[in-house]
Amino acid sequence: MEPNEIQTALAAAVEEVLETMCFTTVLASAEGAVPPEGDGSAPALNAELHFQGNPSGGFRVGVPMKLARVVGAGFLGREETELSDSQAGEVVCELANMICGTVLSRLESKATFQITHPELTPPEHSVSFEGAGAKRWFDLGEGILTVSLELQQTV
Amino acid sequence: MQLHVLIVDDSPAMRSFIRRVLELSGLEVGRCLEASNGEEALRLLEDNWVDAVLTDINMPQMDGEELLRRMSGHEVLHLIPVLVVSTDRTEGRIQKMFTLGAKGYVTKPFAPETLREELEHSLGVVHGTE
């Protein structure tokens, strides 16, 4: 699996999910953990899941709380101020689930994967992905959404 | 005629999204029940008749596959059309769910009109053959 192929799948999956389900448009995106002009601060909300299949691996979506509320409001059709932190977190978890499923089906359309339930992980408790994979950031205007995909070598 | 539905998904956010899409779709939605897994869904179906079940696959305790299996083997519940709503787009999984008795399959992410069309199709299959 070529790195460019993974980056293309990540970009297409995030745009598809955000536009279809959250009515949010991606303004810019590129390879990497953060944009060059970013402040380098860790996202406030990280949703993480793992998948078993060929290949197996992990997937993480990170967003600042302000952006989680914007995206959550679009998804649930409500005002940002109506959303609790818990509801914003649930939406970020569902985004992680949908984006990961979409990426995997784009990369391995014939394979079957078992995807774990996404869980919110504090940034300081996030496990570093060690395998091969890719990171990409997306500027949504109200903040930066980051995704990380880890692919483990299979025998 | 009002359409009574049961939404089965372990994500409260996704249940809310589906409920909103149904309400905005133009379908006349009556009772809209929610369950977070297959076990809860079966308990609700013991006391509540619905016109359609919309279910995720990957859920704790009892997943969508087992829910479909139980409904298909039930003398009454097999009459209720089941629409699967899942992130899994693999051919093998989709085929398996249809074999187990699903009347429709929508992959997440989906446009609101896709859900409505697939739900209407699922209901039409039942109405056309019963």
pLDDT in tens, A91-122: 999 999 999 999 998 888 777 788 888 999 87
Chain B, nearest residue to A72 by Cα: B13
Which residues, other chains included, contact B43 with Cβ-Cβ below 8 Å and sequence gap of 6+? B35
Give contacts of B90 with chain A, Cβ < 8 Å.
Answer: 105, 109-113
Residue B39, pLDDT above cutoff 90: yes
Residue A39 confidence (pLDDT): 61
Give contacts of B109 with chain A, Cβ < 8 Å.
Answer: 16-17, 20-21, 98, 102
* B62 or A44: which leads in pLDDT: B62
3-state helix, strand, coil in chain A (%, to 5): 40, 25, 35
**Lowest mean pLDDT segment, chosen from A7-11, A116-120, A123-127, B10-14:** A123-127
Average pLDDT, integer, range B20-49: 93
Residue A131 confidence (pLDDT): 64
Half-sphere exposure for A86 (CA within 13 Å, toward CB): 2
Confidence of residue B26 (pLDDT cuts 50, 70, 90): confident
Q: How far is B61 from chain A (nearest CA, A)?
A: 12
Determine contact: A100 vs chain B, CB below 8 A: yes
Q: How many CB pairs under 8 A join A and B?
A: 66
Backbone angles phi, psi at B90, to 5 degrees: -70, 140
Residue A3 confidence (pLDDT): 77
Q: Do B108 and A101 touch (CB under 8 A)?
A: yes
Instruction: State the Cα–Cα distance between residues A6 and A141, nearest whole angstrom.
Output: 24
Query: Would you say A47 and A95 are in contact if contact means Cβ atoms under 8 Å apart?
Result: yes
Residue B129, pLDDT above cutoff 90: no
Query: Would you say A120 and A127 are in contact if contact means Cβ atoms under 8 Å apart?
Result: no
Average pLDDT, chain B: 91
Residue B61, judged by CB atoms within 10 A of its CB (0-12, 13-18, 19+), counts as exposed
Within a 10 A sphere around the Cβ of B76, how many other Cβ atoms?
9
Encode pLDDT of A137-152 as tens digits: 999 999 999 999 998 8
Residue B25 confidence (pLDDT): 83
Model-level pTM? 0.88
Predicted ipTM of the assembly: 0.83
Determine contact: B1 vs chain A, CB below 8 A: no
